[in-house]
Structure 1
Amino acid sequence: MKKISLVVPVYNEEENIVELYNEITKALNDFELIMVDDGSDDKSWEIIKEISKKDKRVKGIRFTRNFGQTPAIKAGINNSTGDIIVTLDADLQNDPLDIPKLLSEMDRGYDLVSGWRKDRKDAFFSRVLPSKIANWLISKITSVSLHDYGCTLKAYKREIIENIDLYGEMHRFIPALCGYAGAKISEIKVNHRPRLRGKSKYGIVRIFKVILDLMTVKFMGNFITKPIYFFGIFSFVLLSVSSIFFLITLYNKWYNHIFVKDQPLFLVAIFLSLAGLELGLIGLVAEMLTRIYYSGSKKDYFIKEKTYEEK
């Protein structure tokens, strides 16, 4: 039987942790629960430590400060041992009773099963509407179509998710990144509950972050292993246009007797040539950095404390 690891990012959720743990134990029998305290300044870490003392299935990881949901998810994945990894929020809006449904869908041969909060219990203008816009944008640009990219409740095969590079706020794009890696993806409807305790950490400003991150994801999907192709295309276009402008300048000088100093096109050609060469050099540097990155080791740099000892 496949081992299940649950990864829960925690940030100032002292009022919800115990109830979340109780709900998980009712929904599942055999599991590994990894709670990652993302630099909370309330009593979240103390509660996680108490639970882990009573239940050896529970592991606690504490960050040195608040780094965000993506590093927390990545740290949980890196320190998990399960064949299937399930992520969910600590705010009780995700229902642990949906986890068996995700696992059942995984048994049909999928590499990733994502939850779809079709009936969301959030404010429409500040949460639901921005989410709909973001989901539409991500689906169109990445060609990995989902109704709900933002739902943290997801199940992954280890061999897929552990090889996805996560940093910044890339957690919302995990399905697209997995899709680029060739993963077979499914989406099922899940229950979504209103937040009863604690404060939401999201706002309407995140739609702008999504747009900026989406540009990165698109680049990563198409050119991450060969950035020279991306920069090389623009470099080639600029150098080609500048060459045409140089030829026009020479033609005007030889046949129309117009001096170079009287042709603004000559200055434009010089500018485009320099820009093209610069982009080409950037592509070469990016290519070298990419190769250095992929040949290096990957470690967790944010962890301050754990409730368990490494084996």
Structure 2
Amino acid sequence: MAFISVVIPLYDEIDNILPLCTALSHALGDADAEVIIVDDGSRDGSAAALDREAEARGARFKVIHLQRNFGQTAAMQAGIDAARGEVIVTLDADLQNDPEDILPLVRHLLEKNLDVVAGWRKDRQDDLLLRRIPSRLANRLICHLTGIYLHDYGCTLKAYRASVIKGVRLYGEMHRFVPAWLSTLTYTDRIVEVPVRHHPRRAGQSKYGITRTLRVLVDLLFVKFFLGYSQRPMHFFGVIGLALSSIGSIMLLYLLVDKFGYGAAISGRPMLIAGVLFFLAGLQFLNTGIVGEMLSRIYHESQDKKTYVVRYTIHLDPPA
């Protein structure tokens, strides 16, 4: 089996640290793996507890302490950046995901030659009204907007091929949308989900609330735009601009014919103001599209960003 990196973002989970590390050691057994726990600025003593566990359990367990609380997505990105494995598995620290599911997910990914295997909490052990129903509605909305149809976007337990997951950068609350991000780098049929176990939270408190849901919805709008138009913003803004400017032009042309053809007064008519506004708004959208195209090109060229990803090569010498 390939070398595995298990990445776990953690924030204020002191009561779960010992059982988490024990469960991970048991689940991974003799597998060639490392465990990277990212302490996201915990203030409850978790940092010291993690250090003790890392010292006691040897080099397999690694701990990264962030300067302050940057959020789950940033903590996950820090772990992914530090991971050395060919397969990277992400996992929550609250023990609601079962570490025993890690190796089956990895085996499924390798045997089926996939890029992502996402966990599906089919028998979810959460509050029906506060967690499960909002989660189902959010999952359907995400599927509809992204075109990646998974039952459970919110499940952190996922296995990724490292060469693919390291090709994206995560911001905001974007850890939820990783399968959607990866659809820009691989085929959607290489992203699958399998049922995994889910347990009630045994200790600590959930970090999720209504404000987080609102942030996720805002991030979803950005994801939709990025997936469709990140490399062609003119296609988005240009279509809107052409539509608005065309409506404005038709209005103004009608008024022009009405004035010079039939001698009608147009100075006080609402259509004149509306036509000018539509026309100017259309020009503004077109200008925004042009600026977006320029920024996109500058970004890719300055960062040496490629618009493609190589899976592997055979007998191909590197360029001189």
Q: Does 1:36 align with 2:38?
A: yes
Give the alignment of 1:27-66 within 5 angstroms: 27-28=27-28, 29=30, 30-54=32-56, 55-66=58-69
Matched, 1:198 2:201: no
Pairwise CA distance, 1:297: 5.4
Report what 1:95 is aligned to.
98
Listed as ranges, the matches of 1:279-294 within 5 Å are 279-294=285-300
- TM-superposition CA deviations, 1:139-160 (whole Å, max 9, x none): 1221111111100000000111
- How far the C-alpha of 1:257 sits from its partner, in A, is 0.6
What letter matches 1:76 in structure 2?
G
Cα pair distance change 1:39/1:297, threshold 3 Å: farther
| Partner Cα distance (1:217, 1:235) in 2 | 22
Between the aligned partners of 1:296 and 1:96, the Cα distance in structure 2 is: 41
Matched residue pairs, number?
A: 298
- Could you tell me which amino acid in structure 2 is paired with residue 244 of structure 1? I
Matches of 1:177 and 1:169 in 2, distance apart?
12
- Report the equivalent of 1:77: 80
One-letter identity of the residue aligned with 1:117: R
The equivalent position to 1:106 in structure 2, one of 99, 104, 109, is 109
2:314 alignment counterpart: none
Q: Which residue does the alignment assign to 2:310?
A: none
Partner-residue secondary structure (3-state), 2:64: strand
| Partner amino acid, structure 1, of 2:183 | G
Distance in 1, matches of 2:250 and 2:267, equals: 17
Shift of 1:295: 4.1
Could you tell me which residue of structure 2 aligns to residue 166 of structure 1? Answer: 170
- Residue in structure 2 matched with residue 2 of structure 1 by the alignment: 2
- Secondary structure (helix, strand or coil) at the match of 1:33 reads strand
* 1:132 alignment partner AA: R
Q: Is the 8 A contact 1:127 1:203 kept in 2?
A: no
Instruction: Give the corresponding residue for 1:306.
Output: none
Which of 172, 175, 178 aligns to 2:179? It is 175
Q: Deviations over 1:252-300 (max 9, x none)?
A: 11112123313322211111122112212222233333334334559xx
Asked if 2 retains the 8 angstrom alpha-carbon contact of 1:34 and 1:59, the reply is: yes
For residues 229 and 87 of structure 2, the distance between their equivalents in structure 1, rounded to whole angstroms, comes to 29
Corresponding residue of 1:246: 252
- 2:158 pairs with one of 149, 154, 159: 154
Contact 1:126 1:204 in 2 (8 A): no
Tell me, in whole angstroms, the C-alpha distance in 2 between the residues paired with 1:98 and 1:297: 38
After alignment, is 288-297 or 255-264 more displaced? 288-297
Question: Which AA in structure 2 matches 1:243?
Answer: S
Distance in 1 (alpha carbons) for counterparts of 2:4 and 2:137: 33
TM superposition shift of 1:19:
1.4
CA apart distance, 1:13: 0.7
Distance of 2:20 and 2:230 partners within structure 1:
38
Structure 1 position 243, deviation (Å) = 1.1
Q: Residue 217 of structure 2: which of 211, 230, 234 is its match?
A: 211
1:163-197 CA-to-partner distances (Å, cap 9, x unmatched) read: 12310001111111112332411111111011111
Q: Does 1:19 align with 2:19?
A: yes
What is the root-mean-square deviation in Å for CA atoms of aligned residues?
A: 1.7
Tell me, in whole angstroms, the C-alpha distance in 1 between the residues paired with 2:55 and 2:93. Answer: 19
Contact 1:88 1:94 (8 Å CA) reproduced: yes
**1 CA distance for matches of 2:42 and 2:302?**
31
Q: Deviations over 1:47-81 (max 9, x none)?
A: 22223333112221122211111111111111111
Q: Provide the rounded CA distance (Å) in 1 between the counterparts of 2:79 and 2:263.
A: 71
Which stretch has the larger CA shift, 218-227 or 255-264? 255-264
Unpaired runs of at least 5, structure 1: 299-311
Whichever residue aligns with residue 179 of structure 2, its letter is: P
Q: Which residue of 1 aligns with 2:147?
A: 143
Partner Cα distance (1:53, 1:294) in 2: 43
3-state DSSP of counterpart to 1:151: coil
Partner residue in 2 for 1:257: 263
Question: Deviations along 1:11-68, whole A, 9 cap, x unmatched?
Answer: 0011111211111111112211111111111111112222333311222112221111
Which sits farther off after the overlay, 5-14 or 219-228? Answer: 219-228
Residue of 229, 233, 253 corresponding to 2:239: 233
Q: Is the deviation greater in 234-243 or in 3-12?
A: 234-243
- Separation (CA, whole Å) in 2 of partners of 1:244 and 1:181: 42
Q: Relative CO higher for 1 or 2, CA cutoff 8 Å, sep ≥ 6?
A: 1
- Work out the percentage of aligned pairs sharing the same amino acid: 45
How far 1:204 sits from its partner (Å)?
4.0
